[in-house]
Chains A and B, each alone.
Chain A
Amino acid sequence: MNLLSPSNPQDVHRSLGLIRRRAFGAANAAAILAMSSAAVLVVLVVAVLTLRGEAPLIQTEDKRADTAPLRLYCAAGVRPTVEKVLADYETRYGVRVEVHAHGSGTLYGQIKTEVELGTAPDLYLTAEDSYLDQGRSDGTIAEVIPIGVQRPVLIVAPGNPRGISSLADLAEPASDIDFGIANEGAAVGKKTRAIARDMGILDAIEQRRKTEQETVVALVDAVRVGALDAAVVWDTIAMMTDGVEIIEDPHPAFREHVSRIGIAVVATTERPTEALRLARFLSARDAGLAMFESDGFEVVDGDVWEEDPRIVLYCGSMFRAVFEDTIAEFCEREGVTIDPQWAGCGKLVAQMTALLESGVEPDRFPSAYLACDVQFYDSIHEYSGQRIFGEGTIVSENDIVIAVAKGNPHDIRTPEDLLQPGVRVGVCHPTESALGTLTRQMLSSERFNNIYGRVQAQKSVEVDVGPTLVSQILAGGLDAVIVYRSNVMSSAANLDELEVVEIQDGESGLARAVQPWSIAEMSEHKQLMERLFLALRSEESRQRFESAGFHWRASR
């Protein structure tokens, strides 16, 4: 709008009046705009905050509404430490836990019976890892988280009045030393017998023992009050107890037969998420494990404690159709959040390199990486001489195939047929994508007459991930694409419109990608990632992979 028209003095006068009114009379537009848009902004931000997604961004109700206490069956020797940790947990989160302590083996037997009866506890903390293996194989136990290690030691009265130096001294025929061992229902009882067997004195020990107790605590008390001269107990209990002295037996069997303490979630629990949260707390390096360590236990490399941890996970885009549901189920059960980033492996590696160069904090770096092919894992497992990822474990293999429209109108049978004039070919980028890299290696080989250059010249499109090529051929934009079999089989509907042409590589492995799983060295949730890996190797997961055309290579 032209307010001033200098040609006419009357117009000038009118315009000046208008400006005067605008400048002094009209409302302050800036203030009104700023305030009204700020008000709208506040409303929108509140709307975002109350948006309910995977979890409401504002917690409107307490997830721990169930106030019934959790039930934990706990190895007797570990109970004092566990109770301190549980007290801390109750103070922080208001969750009560009922503890029932006994020998690890006795508790295991009890749990097996109670599983049948439907009265089993939620958690089982054992001092003997063989029960965990048994429990897993017979389906009594679901998840297991390691805590630490205990070693059997000899204890005697202070000052060692009987001059005992080894377990062998107790087995001497002429010895009148009163000693006790735990029965086989207690983890330490099993280990004591294993040590005695290795030392060749098992029979003598069995014959000469004065008593056999059900728990390690009873043995410690017996030595302390003088009822026994010696006993074999856990080092941790011995260190925590006044009035006894530890004798280091030099025999190597004492170092071999250690016991791994672990906490397990009982398979029948109706509150798996709460049970797992408590198990994570007990096994977290800055929560439960700190207490175990201060009580003299040798602890494992536990996770950092977070009530609801958020984990970043990098996965090649080929896995989305087969792994996404497994991750969702895992998060639901564990009560954790996992942010999977699905992309071409070249991009993921580039992103990880950028993060490493910028000095990324551990919680921003992927805790684990499921790579499309070993060579992408190889390219990032070390960076600047530093180990970034742990040992990779092969999960699956995926064939590289040619996908064509139903009926194969161009009669494509081999990669060389792609070079026919007029065939619109789609391939993946040779560096951004694992599939592209493998395609280049395959077609640059003698076996395929080094036709990669010609295919490149012929190609209509180059993209970063295989599924994009499938979408493009489905849309009719391409005649043939080089993709993974899983890209085509990710949806049953694809097979109505597409046909798979096998690439015969003569067992050379050129037309096959191998997918490893690995956990980042800097991850603060390695144990959680181990459990996710277990979920990845589950039967349901195997079926998902196989139905999508993957070859399964992982073992349970």
Chain B
Amino acid sequence: MPDTPPTPPSETAPRRVRSDVPFFTVMVAIGTSYLALILAMLWADWRFTSFAEIGKALSDEAIRFSITLSLLTCTISAILSVWVAVPIGYLMSRYRFPGKKLIDTVLDIPIVLPPLVIGISLLILFQTPAGRWMDTTFSDLMKLIGADGIRGITYEVPAVVLAQFTVAAAFATRTMRVTFEQIDPRPERVALTLGAGHASAFSRVALPQAYRGMTAAFTLAWARSLGEFGPILIFAGTTRMKTEVLSTSVYLEFSIGNIHGAVAVSMLMVALAMVVLLVTRLLGVGREVV
């Protein structure tokens, strides 16, 4: 932001300073309308549930399992997404290479495709010989470490993570690319002239500045994973106490006509998402301040 406001163009007649009230009124009105929509939705949800209903949902072992599984898988997917997003975002923002536009388009496919298509594609992928091999190898690996309960990838917990990751990583990648594009590349170039290698310039100059972006990418990926539904439904199934996460719990409750249960689980999701997003943002800001 410039230190001094730009000098107004000189005019012969002094210009009447207009009030800022209409500007802010319009801006606040538009902004509030969306906020009001979100709050109205929550209010409407609340009409269909109660603390007793939420308590009932929480006392259900299957729901508690689905909360724990959601928290764990979302966090794993979000971390994996940031791992993938940082190098892709950096390379795409800093370098030019043949086929870059094509790669850019391919990276957007998971964002553009309907989530159900991602689920079907993953399901089919794991029926190919390579997919089957991965499935069996993973199963063998799990046996080796004593996790006999996970037999392969398809219809198992790893399928939940993979389904969430496939979509969430695309959003994280986009965020990281924008982040690196907004970071001035000159300090890295200067670091290079001072004898640092590319790795050093990346990790000691660019990456520390991208911390806020990484936090944003993580929260976006986490939130996206929590809301992920279509691919999980198809690729991991909706087996109670095994691959059921909160989004599928809502679907399962709604699909049997139990709207009160569905809304109670939805409210739990809202509460959970708000807590996690607030904590992550506070952590992110705290680090930035430090």
**Contacts from A to B (Cβ < 8 Å):** 1-4, 15-16, 19-20, 22-24, 26-31, 33-34, 37, 40-41, 44-45, 47-49, 51-59, 310, 312, 317, 320-321, 324, 339-343, 351, 354-355, 358-361, 364, 465, 467-468, 470-471, 474-475, 487-488, 490-491, 493-494
Contact = CB atoms under 8 A, between A and B. Distances in A.
A61 to B, nearest CB: 12
A233 to B, nearest CB: 45
B105 interface: no
Interface stretch (B28-36, B172-180, B187-195, B221-229): B187-195
Closest 9 pairs (CB-CB, A-B): A57-B149, A30-B203, A53-B241, A470-B257, A23-B191, A54-B241, A23-B196, A29-B207, A358-B127
B259 A474 contact: yes
B138 interface: no
Contacts of B83: 34, 37
Nearest to A338: B239
A324 B255 CA distance: 13
Given A41-B80, A51-B68, 18 more contacts: A4-B184, A19-B191, A20-B191, A23-B196, A28-B200, A29-B204, A40-B79, A44-B76, A53-B242, A57-B157, A59-B149, A312-B155, A321-B257, A342-B238, A358-B127, A487-B257, A488-B257, A490-B256
Nearest to A317: B255
B73 to A, nearest CB: 7
A450 to B, nearest CB: 30
Contact of B257 (A16, A31, A54, A494): A494
B65 interface: yes
A32 B73 CA distance: 23
20 contacts: A3-B186, A3-B187, A19-B191, A22-B205, A29-B208, A30-B203, A33-B214, A37-B79, A45-B76, A53-B65, A53-B69, A55-B149, A57-B149, A59-B149, A321-B256, A340-B239, A471-B258, A487-B257, A488-B257, A493-B260
Contacts of A468: 254-255
A307 B132 CA distance: 21
A19 B150 contact: no
Contact of B186 (A4, A34, A37, A494): A4
Nearest to B259: A471
Contacts of B242: 53-54, 339
A40 B239 CA distance: 27
B41 interface: no
Contact of A491 (B68, B184, B257): B257
Given A4-B186, A494-B257, A48 B127 contact: no
Interface string B209-229: 100001000000000000000
B267 to A, nearest CB: 15
A231 to B, nearest CB: 50
Given A56-B149, A465-B255, A475-B48, A28 B203 contact: yes
B6 interface: no
Interface in B140-194: 145-151, 154-155, 157, 184, 186-187, 190-191, 194
A320 B184 contact: no
A15 B187 contact: yes
B190 A354 contact: no
Given A28-B203, A41-B76, A45-B76, A19 B65 contact: no
Contacts of B151: 310
A443 B72 CA distance: 48
Given A33-B207, A45-B76, A364-B154, A59 B241 contact: no
Given A310-B151, A468-B254, A355 B259 contact: no
B236 to A, nearest CB: 10
A216 B42 CA distance: 76
Contacts of B146: 58-59
B123 A4 contact: no
Interface string B58-77: 00000001001100110110
A341 B202 contact: no
Contacts of A341: 237-238
B120 interface: yes
Given A55-B149, A310-B151, A19 B205 contact: yes
B257 A4 contact: no
Given A19-B205, A23-B191, A361-B132, A51 B184 contact: no
B256 A467 contact: yes
A280 to B, nearest CB: 17
B19 interface: no
Contacts of B241: 53-54
Among B124, B147, B157, B262, residue most surrounded by chain A Cβ atoms (within 10 Å): B147
Nearest to A307: B148
Given A28-B203, A29-B208, A320-B255, A339 B187 contact: no
A517 to B, nearest CB: 20
B281 interface: no
B257 A51 contact: no
Contact of B187 (A19, A37, A343, A474): A19
A310 B150 CA distance: 11
Contact of A471 (B65, B196, B199, B262): B262
Contacts of B57: none
A48 B120 contact: no
Contacts of A351: 120, 123, 234
B190 A4 contact: yes
B187 A491 contact: no
Nearest to A343: B233
A14 to B, nearest CB: 12
A16 B252 CA distance: 59
B128 interface: yes
Contacts of A45: 76
A4 B254 contact: no
A346 B151 CA distance: 28
B268 interface: no
Given A3-B187, A355-B123, A475 B157 contact: no
B257 A471 contact: yes
A355 B72 CA distance: 30
B273 interface: no
